[in-house]
Amino acid sequence: MNFTIGELSRQTQVKIPTIRYYEQIGLLAEPVRTEGQQRRYSADEVRRLNFIRHARELGFEVEAIRQLLSLTDDPNRCCGEVHAITKAHLDAVKDKIARLAALRGELEAMVACDNRRISECRIIEVLANHDQCRHDRH
């Protein structure tokens, strides 16, 4: 079955410029074209683009997606590499959550300001002097 880029976009909920971008960076192969140079896609591209979209929704970086897609080309291979890529991503997500929690705590402490004058405002003081932050990194 052949799909136009618009049909592919509708089926996968991926915008047309994003589809073109994925083609440019090699996540999607250059599509077959009609005599009028219109792109045509198959069900395989629909599945591949759905994979890419879902991986992006889960926060995987483009290079990790490229590696995962490459690994899917050999379905009998051990999935250890897939596990390692996903574990690395999970570790990065956990680190980001920890940094966001520290950031939340810092902002909560800052907004405890009692709304006195600007010259006595805790928010302004902390923004002006990082040493007053409770955390080194956020």
Distance, in Å, from the CA atom of 112 to the CA atom of 25, rounded to the nearest integer, reads: 47
Q: How many CB atoms lie within 10 A of CB 81?
A: 13
Angle among Cα 89, 77, 73 to the nearest 5 degrees reads 80
Distance, in Å, from the CA atom of 110 to the CA atom of 113, rounded to the nearest integer, reads: 6
Q: What is the pLDDT of residue 26?
A: 95
Stretches where the chain sits below pLDDT 50 are none
Choose among 100, 67, 95: nearest CA to 83: 67
Distance, in Å, from the CA atom of 134 to the CA atom of 65, rounded to the nearest integer, reads: 37
Q: What is the pLDDT of residue 100?
A: 95
